[in-house]
Amino acid sequence: MLLVFTTFPEAGLARETAALLLQEGLAACVTLLPAGESHYIWEGRLEVASEVPVIIKTTEEAYDELEVRLRALHPYQVPEMVAVPVSRGSAPYLEWVHQACRR
């Protein structure tokens, strides 16, 4: 299992993307967190933006297709996509994630 972290500029687009990823079997669950404030350097300038953090639960096997699809759906030129492997977890939950991503 992988946890994939990303952000969106607004909740509506994050919700639409979550629904597509779930319907396409690329994610088992997508969690939208309350908006936060991101500070970063982009093209040499300090930027500050309100963003919606998103956590996608998926599998190693589904990740490559998920990344391609997320890039296609995402409005950012370089969207955050950071995948973190899950080394342990509840066996029934991990099995559910694997089954959900096999659709």
- CATH number at 57 reads 3.30.70.120
What was the pLDDT predicted at 77? 94
β-pairing, 2-8 vs 45-58, is antiparallel
Mean pLDDT score of the chain: 97
pLDDT tens by residue, 74-103:
999 999 999 999 999 999 999 999 999 986
pLDDT tens by residue, 41-54:
999 999 999 999 99
The label of the residue with tokens 């953090």 reads 53
What was the pLDDT predicted at 103? 66
Q: Domain residues for 82?
A: 2-100
Cα distance between residue 9 and residue 32, in whole Å: 12
- Give me the number of domains the chain comprises: 1
Q: Is residue 9 scored above 90 in pLDDT?
A: yes
